[in-house]
Amino acid sequence: MHRDRAIPLTAVVLLAATALVGCERGSSAGPGETTAGPSGCPAALTRAKAAVKRAERTDVPWNGPTSGPTAVRGKTIAYVAQTMTNPGVAGVAQGVREAAKVMGWKVRVIDGGGTPVGIQAALSEAITLEPSGIVIGGFDPRSTARQVAQANAADIPLVGWHAVGSPGPSKRPELFTNITTEVEEVAGVSADWVIARSDGRARVVVFTDDSIPFARKKAALIRRGLARCPGVRLLAYANIPIPDAGSRTPQEVSSLLSRFPTTWDYSIAINDLYFADAAPALRAAGKRGTGPPFNIGAGDGDPSAFQRVNSGQYQAATVPEPLSQQGWQVIDEFNRAFSGRAPSGYVAPVHIVTAANSGGATSWNPPGYRRAYRKIWGE
């Protein structure tokens, strides 16, 4: 789960508002509710192809921090997870555990179960443990305002992962820093991939979870990115809460296939897990694993997403979060907080993974991050 920069493209915003109409519950926006416009978009297509080419590079060197405080000893971290069924949340938790072990720190993971009550209870439990720091793992801190205020009053630093819309420190809510890729870049390059691969003539379904502000913003930016090309048409906007994805996505996909049996050729999801749940319905309908529809996940790039991409099973690409690196960054940011230093300010670059450039890997992280953090910490 990014800076809330205004995008001074009035025409694009108006086009997005008129052409990309969707339903906030499930699929909607039938053929009569969208504006396809002329086929193709030469300028947008050229730009999209260049952006995709840059994002698919695998030889980008480490551009993260190379200096900072040495390791502070004897710390404990509570990782409060939105839900450990979210592969991104779970992947970062694993990175946190790994990095904390290097530091000699203890980690306690508390699963919020994906419900507001559960997350509030999990954060309350974390505070009672009196840890050195608490991770806000993939949920909106405003939904736990009372608990966040308690942690702030107790001088327990909070580090967010996909907690607010922008990377870096946050005043309201008060977070030492928030770790995430730039949502504008992730959403933009996902839309660019569809435009580039389809030569500007795609018919697209977007899967999202509007209950999460970060995801809602990402989906809006995806739609805005698609609107750069008049030849791209949004068929449907499927709003499915992540905790319900396992039960609702197969039904939604079956419904979409009945409505758009031959026209649905691309999908973008704000999280790869939607395609894990979509695969059985696509398979049952006789769709090939290599598409169409050609599916790209705009996060989080968990191992199962890589496996689907590598094997050509109902996912063609992913724009992964560097989950392990971000877990290590969580620990580095806490170490800076404990040492009275400022946050690192690091934001990982956007990257597209396909079967052609994955090398058979099941994750992506910026090269050299472990070595860089170990050197900083003196380990």
* Residue 85: strand, helix, or coil: coil
Q: Is the pLDDT of residue 281 over 80?
A: yes
Please write down the HEC assignment for all residues of 194-236: HHHHHCCCCEEEEEECCCCHHHHHHHHHHHHHHCCCCCCEEEE
Measuring CA to CA, how many Å separate 211 from each of 50, 136, 167?
Answer: 33, 17, 20
- Report the C-alpha gap between 140 and 145 in whole angstroms: 9
Q: How far is CA 293 from CA 74, 285, 368, in A?
A: 51, 12, 35
Task: Confirm if 112 and 83 have CB atoms less than 8 A apart.
Answer: yes
SS (HEC) of 163-201: CCCCCEEECCCCEEEEECCCHHHHHHHHHHHHHHHHCCC
**pLDDT one-digit tens code per residue, 138-182:** 999 999 999 999 999 999 999 999 998 889 999 999 999 999 999
pLDDT score, position 87: 83
CA 369 to centroid of chain Cα atoms? 20
Which residues on neighbouring strands pair with residue 266, listed in sequence order? 204, 294
Question: pTM of the predicted model, to two decimals?
Answer: 0.80
Q: In 10 A of CB 32, how many CB atoms? A: 5
Q: Which two tokens mark 11?
A: 């025409």
Structure confidence at residue 214 as a pLDDT band (50, 70, 90): confident
The confidence score (pLDDT) of residue 208 equals 97
